[in-house]
Amino acid sequence: MLKIYGVYKSRATRILWLMEELGSPFELVPVLQAYKLADPMAADARLNTRSPAFLEINPMGSIPTIEDDGLVLNESLAQTLYVAKKHGGPTAPRDLIEEAQMLQWSLFGATSIETEALKISMANNEGRLSTEAGQQEAKAVARILSRPFGVLEKHFAAHDFAVGDRFTVADINLGEIVRYAQAYQPLFDAHPKTAAWLARIQSRPGFKAMWEKRLAEVD
């Protein structure tokens, strides 16, 4: 059985959403981010990203990590692409061309969107987005994101989904990256086709089930 190390309030949402879509059993081993603990190295500390036991599995000390039949993967995009292809079905690539397209969209999100989008997510989580300074920060980030979001807008003006005109793992990978910027509505108002795509994939039962568990999770 697939083993996932991590928590819902992390990048593990990518693989956890996919598992909901696939309806496949898995074992979740809770590994908390070390920064959430007063003393992550205390003898009674919860298993966390600095715990020696976890560092033996993932020397980078990041979550999520998966184990599957002896294979250990520490990068979340690689995890979802691997699991989708192994499982097969509509979320997986049907051929080499679709596989390349799924890789491209996943890496496009990671390299062109994620770093800046995370700034909006952090500002929102820290309560700064409700301040004038936070709004100005988000506005500056949105200007940087306008170019990659323009690429998304053009694509989703012609397609309902990222690849193959059906929901796939590429939508999960890309959608979970775009979600980081979701708190800044003006960015999405300027890109309505992208906003509609994100709403479409987030309306799926698989996302809702994952998100409900995330909201219920206690740090």
pLDDT for 173 equals 98
**Do 116 and 144 meet the contact criterion of CB atoms below 8 Å apart?**
yes
pLDDT at residue 177 in the model: 98
Three-state SS at 7: coil
- Where are the extended beta strands (E) located within the chain? 2-6, 26-30, 65-68, 71-73
Band (113; pLDDT cuts 50, 70, 90): very high
The amino acid at 151: V
Task: State the sign of the Cα–Cα–Cα–Cα dihedral 53, 59, 62, 65.
Answer: negative
Which sequence spans correspond to the domains of the chain? 2-90, 96-204
Query: What pLDDT digit, counting tens, does each position of 150-173 carry?
Result: 999 999 999 999 999 999 999 999
**Mean pLDDT in residue range 108-112:** 98
Do 2-90 and 96-204 come out as alike in CATH topology? Answer: no
Tell me whether the omega of the peptide bond preceding residue 52 falls within 30 degrees of 0, making it cis: no
Exposure b/e, 73-109, CB count within 10 A at least 16 = b: bbbbbebbbbbbeebeeebbbeeeebbebbbebbebb
**Share of residues in the chain with pLDDT > 70 (%):** 100
Q: How far is residue 216 CA from its own chain's centroid? A: 18
Domain 2-90, CATH homologous superfamily name and number: Glutaredoxin (3.40.30.10)
Residue 21 has pLDDT above 90, yes or no: yes
- What is the pTM (predicted TM-score) of this model? 0.96
Instruction: Classify domain 96-204 by CATH number.
Output: 1.20.1050.10
Confidence band, pLDDT 50/70/90 cuts, at residue 219: confident
Q: What is the mean pLDDT of residues 25-45?
A: 95
pLDDT of residue 202: 98
For the chain, the average pLDDT equals 97
Q: Could you read off the pLDDT of 48-97 as tens digits, one per residue?
A: 999 999 999 999 999 999 999 999 999 999 999 999 999 999 999 999 99
Predicted confidence at residue 218, as pLDDT, reads 85
Q: Which helix (H) or strand (E) holds 119?
A: helix 114-125
What pLDDT is attached to residue 153?
98
